[in-house]
Amino acid sequence: VRSERVAAILGVALGIAFSVCFATGVLSHLVQERPGWFEWRPRPAGFYRVTQGLHVATGIASIPLLLAKLWVVYPKLFTWPPVRSAAHGVERIALLPLIGGGLFLVFSGLGNIHVYRPFAFDFRTGHYWAAWITMGALVVHVGAKAATTRRALLARAHRHGGDGSHEEGDGDGLATPPRVRADRRAFLATAFGTAALATVFTVGQTVRPLRKLALLAPRRPDVGPQGFPVNRLARSVGLTDVDLASYRLLVDGPGVATPLSLTYDDLRAMPQHTAALPIACVEGWSTTQTWTGVRVRDLLARAGARDGAEATVVSMQRSRRQRTSPVNRHEARDRDMLLALAVNGEPLHPDHGFPVRLIGPNRPGVQQTKWVGRLEVR
């Protein structure tokens, strides 16, 4: 089982999973950071939901594959002499960030979706930089192992393509006995089967038809107040009973001609729009609900903001974590960018952001700000 062939098959699968995970992860990071050169669009509305679902699913599938791969190759870590040449030395040094980084990524990610963040540093910052280091080491590793991998994978093709007298080899010219081949198949079936089951038992948190199978998922997309989940409770930010008599939504900042201070009734008196939009949490769960409220673009127009205005949405919560979120000029114009007063025809539950929450297309959950008190316009 501890053969080049098994290592190669697991390696290819891990390479694909890590690449998808990396691309979707960098995208998610950029959406949350929004550097100046990065123009995020509000359409297609469910795009982020798919990319982040893939991120968490490929990360979870990687865990059994990574452990299987380490089990297959770890005796090779102790071969003698440790370094045969300069190139070999570089390849071996790259194993440290590759193995350490890979393990850190999958387990910090797994922790994060269970809201377990025991690190002294910010989860996203650490996870992001570890990803670049790990992928750098992976590029070195793939370069060093490409020839071996191709040889190990082609051994079987050679057998099939031949006259039938060839046995599957390990690339070393020796035939592989059938018992060994059966053991390898069983081992690989266990590794891939475990990866498949771990994935099937969690993707129900975002893939509706599988929600009954979401046994390993931290959340079910249909369980919570008003029928969907909550991460941050109103209680935890002291906003369980917001007084509507004193509530005001401020629309102000350098981008408006007339600053607004609107009561809840003022908002209810404005034209209401309804849209089905997902909350797609970075933790990989998502849920689509039907939201009703005031369009951000109507509020901006009423405040005399110019076309091209951008805004920062500010929550009434005191704690800084996820208190604000950005609305760029594309989002500000979108017909479904709402300050929602209601979900599925009912006023928002306090845990869902009563009296007013932002909800818009193609945004990470962390940017669907609850308990909104202010739109600061530029």
Ligand X SMILES: Nc1nc2c(c(=O)[nH]1)N[C@H]1C(S)=C(S)[C@@H](COP(=O)(O)O)O[C@H]1N2
Binding site for ligand X (CB under 6 A): 229-232, 279, 281, 315, 317, 322-323, 352, 365-366, 368-371
Query: Binding segment for Mo ion among 267-275, 280-288, 327-335, 339-347 (CB under 5 A)?
Result: 280-288
Residue 102 is which amino acid?
Answer: G
> Cβ 153 to Mo ion, closest distance in Å?
40
Among 278, 271, 324, 266, CA closest to 293: 271
Q: CA separation (Å) from 257 to 113, 254, 328, 349?
A: 43, 8, 19, 33
Peptide bond connecting 229 to the previous residue in cis, omega within 30 degrees of 0: no
DSSP designation for 348? P
Closest CA to 277 of 368, 359, 372: 359
Q: How many residues make contact with Mo ion (CB under 5 A)? A: 3
Smallest separation (angstroms) from Mo ion to the CB of 285: 8
In whole angstroms, how close is the CB of 28 to Mo ion at the nearest point?
A: 11
Closest CB to ligand X among residues 55, 232: 232
Residue 81 preceded by cis peptide, ω within 30: yes
Q: Which is nearer to Mo ion, 285 or 354 (CB)?
A: 285
Beta-bridge partner residues of 357: 340
Q: Determine, following the binding rule CB under 5 A, whether residue 31 of this chain makes contact with Mo ion.
A: no
Q: Which does 371 bind (CB under 5 to 8 A by kind): Mo ion, ligand X, none?
A: ligand X
State the CB neighbour count (10 A cutoff) for residue 89.
Answer: 12
Binding partner of 317, given Mo ion, ligand X, none, CB within 5-8 angstroms per partner class: ligand X
Report the nearest approach of Mo ion to the CB of residue 268 (Å): 28
Q: Which is nearer to ligand X, 287 or 328 (CB)?
A: 287
- Report in angstroms how near the CB of residue 312 gets to Mo ion at its nearest: 18
Q: 178: buried, middle or exposed (CB in 10 Å: 19+, 13-18, 0-12)?
A: exposed
The verdict on 365 binding Mo ion (CB under 5 A) reads yes
Distances (CA, A) of 374 to 94, 142, 270, 308, 370: 49, 50, 17, 19, 11
CA-based nearest residue to 10, from 235, 211, 189 = 189
Stretch in the footprint of Mo ion (CB under 5 A) among 58-66, 80-88, 133-141, 366-374: 366-374
Q: Which residue's beta carbon is nearest to the bound ligand X? A: 365
State yes or no: residue 358 binds Mo ion (CB under 5 A).
no
Tell whether residue 281 is a contact of Mo ion (CB under 5 A). Answer: yes
Name residues contacting Mo ion, limited to 211-250 (CB under 5 A).
none
Kindly tell me which of 17 and 281 has the beta carbon lying closer to Mo ion: 281
Per CB under 5 A, residues contacting Mo ion are 281, 365-366
